[in-house]
Amino acid sequence: MPNIQIKSYQEYEEAYKRSVEDPEGFWSDIASTFTWRKKWNTTLEWNFEEPNVKWFKGGRLNITENCLDRHLKTRGNKLALIWEPNDPKERFVRYTYRELHEKVCQFANVLKKNGAKKGDRICIYMPMIPELAFAVLACARIGAIHSVVFAGFSAVAMADRINDAQCSMVLTSDGLNRGAKQIPVKRVVDEALERCDSVKKVIVVERLGWAVNMVDGRDVWYHDEVQGVSKDCPAEEMDAEDMLFILYTSGSTGKPKGVVHTCGGYMVYAQYSFSNVFQVQENDIYWCTADIGWITGHTYLLYGPLLSGSTSLMFEGVPTFPDMGRFWQVVDKFGVNIFYTAPTAIRSLMGGDIDDVLSYSLDSLKVLGSVGEPINEEAWHWYHTHVGKERCPLVDTWWQTETGGIMISTIASITPMKPSHAALPLPGIQPILVDAEGKEITDNEVEGYLCMKFPWPSIIRTTYGDHERARLSYFSTYKGLYFTGDGAKRDKDGLYRIIGRVDDVINVSGHRFGTAEIEEAINHNSHVVESAVVGYPHDVKGQGIYAFVICKDVPEREDYLRAEIIETVVEKIGKIAKPDKIQIVNGLPKTRSGKIMRRILRKVAEGDTSNLGDTSTLLDPDVVDEIKAGAL
Ligand code: PRX
């Protein structure tokens, strides 16, 4: 393991101090531990006005040489990836670094054979099977830009993302397993591609052995294409600031935006943060339960662990199949040492029988992690006590698709840990809290808007095809700062506690949706005139989706109408964005200028209508009484 790991609190303090006083020297030393084809000329060039951020300018590299090739001499026979299938009766599969290198090279050669080249955008819509990992790394190997779309998104959502990035290829599978269900994936791709002109090739991996429609000249089977293909594929030389990937995420307005990360900075920060936060040791078995379709899967299932030469476990299934003990059974089966999951998974398992956890030993566990949404104290204590046996540090890692890697988190056993607190920033990260005017709040025991005042290597570079959108979304709210969209508290000791989004983004089971995006989907239903969506506290999902909907014709059976509206959302976005509650209303609380007062709707959704605040500026205050009376 290259020597980038902090070993004590004193080392943390020293690293933090240096990273602020001499950020270029600090990151330059860390970057020097990687394999570069050519060293960079300038460590950092930046301004947050345009914004323009460039790390390691002039440096040349390929991230897969750092993930794979550089380990072959010393770790060629070490396990890189363990794949556990959905059904425990099916056998798991393991790949050493040497085997993974071959698989990635072969996949890369299949991509090339089918016309892919450097700079092409390739959409990956695949379940959690080993080929998904090969596919992502194969794109990086040949310099193609991967755009992974989580396989739970609908055909319409996939088509929007393909069109935005003008992808030339789609990598997919015949179908997928999800608990007891099997889902036809290729059919969703076919439907999406009816709306896309840019896609010339579709490569299909067989998972279920289902007969699927194959379009002549466009669709090919991976198992046919890989026959006789070389197991060697020289890596394309990339510039440090060349795009590595695009990952779509929701903002408070409009369609999801394509967050762009680049090769050099993302690589450096992925490994640095992974190695430090989890304090990974050479022989650890590490398991991140996130799907590769989200940023957590990109950085902490794939890139971070492989860059570090670690053993990463990839799980196809769900926490509740075939029973509520599945996670813990997998931990015992492979002797997992580091386990990283989302609060929503913990909360769903807390609801089960405690013996589902206590009947497993879980002795191998050393470190636990949490990501994606605030972890409430009850879930924190359950996780720490019953899974970690009060022996394992629990790191609550705060970060975002846009930050590329963990920003604020306890470093396991090194920096302070406090329930429901992300705690301290990692070296190189300079958070500040500001008030509504953007003025820095310097005291402790305060609350404010969370911003960053200095760039880190894996900061978002742009939003694909629309740089102005990146500026407006992140760099224009508070001058000279990156604005996260989150509110946070800082306690008397300077530890951060993230409260959650302060914009119109809701976080459902750790997945981000813009309220505008869900409203737009709902409004597609032919009965609907207008809608307003807000989040509300939900015991398992963190936040649930509450929709207030005005309809032009309400049929006798309101439940049919509700089912139809849900169907529309599933079609436009996917099952993951299904509203939990739909209240049919005659009007929405609007100001005289026509703006919906969401504050009131949020209160109604939370079930707290005792104090709705000032409603005198509303166009029609009676609307509020009707909404209160019909609240679900
Ligand atoms: O609100 C914060 C919440 O998730 C948002 C980022 O979502 P996404 O880009 O999908 O990335 C999720 C995985 C990194 C943040 O703005 N969030 C993420 N982690 C935490 C969190 N909120 C509280 N505590 C966390 N540990």
Residues 6+ apart with CB under 8 A from 626: 585, 586, 587
Alpha-carbon span 106 to 84, nearest angstrom: 22
Nearest CA to ligand 1 atom 26: 398
* Contact indicator for 372, 387 with CB cutoff of 8 Å: no
Sign of CA dihedral 449, 453, 456, 462: positive
Element (H, E) at 163: helix 155-165
Which residues pair with residue 259 across a beta bridge? Answer: 247, 463
pLDDT at 91: 98
In short, whether 295's Cβ falls inside 6 Å of ligand 1 is yes
For the chain, list the domains and their CATH numbers: 509-629 (3.30.300.30)
In short, whether 102's Cβ falls inside 6 Å of ligand 1 is no
In short, whether 337's Cβ falls inside 6 Å of ligand 1 is no
For the CA of 408, the closest atom of ligand 1 is: 26
614 CA → ligand 1 middle, Å? 31
Helix (H), strand (E) counts: the chain:
21, 31
Give the confidence band of 168 by pLDDT, cuts at 50, 70, 90: very high
* Contact indicator for 134, 166 with CB cutoff of 8 Å: no
Average pLDDT over residues 43-56: 98
pLDDT for 117-165, tens place per residue? Answer: 999 999 999 999 999 999 999 999 999 999 999 999 999 999 999 999 9
| Model confidence at 39: pLDDT above 70 | yes
Nearest CA to ligand 1 atom 25: 398
510 CA → ligand 1 middle, Å? 7
Burial call 575-587: b when 16+ CB within 10 Å, e when fewer: ebbbbbebbbbee
Neighbours of 624 (CB within 10 A): 21
Give the confidence band of 171 by pLDDT, cuts at 50, 70, 90: very high
Nearest CA to ligand 1 atom 8: 400
In short, whether 293's Cβ falls inside 6 Å of ligand 1 is no
- Mean pLDDT taken over the chain: 96
| Model confidence at 496: pLDDT above 90 | yes
| Model confidence at 620: pLDDT above 90 | no
| Model confidence at 498: pLDDT above 90 | yes
In short, whether 369's Cβ falls inside 6 Å of ligand 1 is no
pLDDT for 230-277, tens place per residue? Answer: 999 999 999 999 999 999 999 887 789 999 999 999 999 999 999 999
pLDDT for 363-397, tens place per residue? Answer: 999 999 999 999 999 999 999 999 999 999 999 99
Give the confidence band of 558 by pLDDT, cuts at 50, 70, 90: confident
399 CA → ligand 1 middle, Å? 5
Which residue is listed with tokens 């197991």?
231
605 CA → ligand 1 middle, Å? 22
Nearest CA to ligand 1 atom 24: 374
Nearest CA to ligand 1 atom 7: 400
Mutate to test the pocket of ligand 1, among 250, 371, 421 (most ligand atoms within 8 A of CB): 371
The token duo for 448 is 């404010």
Residues 6+ apart with CB under 8 A from 104: 64, 68, 134, 137, 138, 141, 233
Alpha-carbon span 548 to 584, nearest angstrom: 6
pLDDT at 594: 85
* Contact indicator for 573, 517 with CB cutoff of 8 Å: yes
Average pLDDT over residues 424-428: 98
pLDDT at 619: 83
In short, whether 154's Cβ falls inside 6 Å of ligand 1 is no
401 CA → ligand 1 middle, Å? 8
In short, whether 400's Cβ falls inside 6 Å of ligand 1 is yes
In short, whether 500's Cβ falls inside 6 Å of ligand 1 is yes
pLDDT at 616: 79
pLDDT at 592: 85
In short, whether 273's Cβ falls inside 6 Å of ligand 1 is no
Tell me the H-state helices in 199-358.
222-225, 263-277, 295-297, 304-307, 326-334, 343-350, 355-358
Average pLDDT over residues 173-185: 97
| Model confidence at 555: pLDDT above 80 | no
Tell me the H-state helices in 323-410.
326-334, 343-350, 355-358, 377-382
Give the confidence band of 1 by pLDDT, cuts at 50, 70, 90: very low
For the CA of 398, the closest atom of ligand 1 is: 26
In short, whether 366's Cβ falls inside 6 Å of ligand 1 is no
Residues 6+ apart with CB under 8 A from 516: 252, 253, 254, 504
Alpha-carbon span 432 to 424, nearest angstrom: 12
Nearest CA to ligand 1 atom 13: 372
* Contact indicator for 267, 63 with CB cutoff of 8 Å: yes
Provide the residue count of the chain. 632
* Nearest alpha-carbon partner for 532 in 548, 543, 520: 548
Sign of CA dihedral 106, 108, 109, 111: positive
In short, whether 401's Cβ falls inside 6 Å of ligand 1 is yes
400 CA → ligand 1 middle, Å? 5
Alpha carbon distance, N-terminus to C-terminus of the chain: 54
pLDDT at 5: 97
> So what's the ipTM on this one?
1.00
For the CA of 484, the closest atom of ligand 1 is: 16
Cis omega (within 30 of 0) for bond into 322: yes
Alpha-carbon span 154 to 400, nearest angstrom: 23
pLDDT at 215: 98
Alpha-carbon span 520 to 505, nearest angstrom: 14
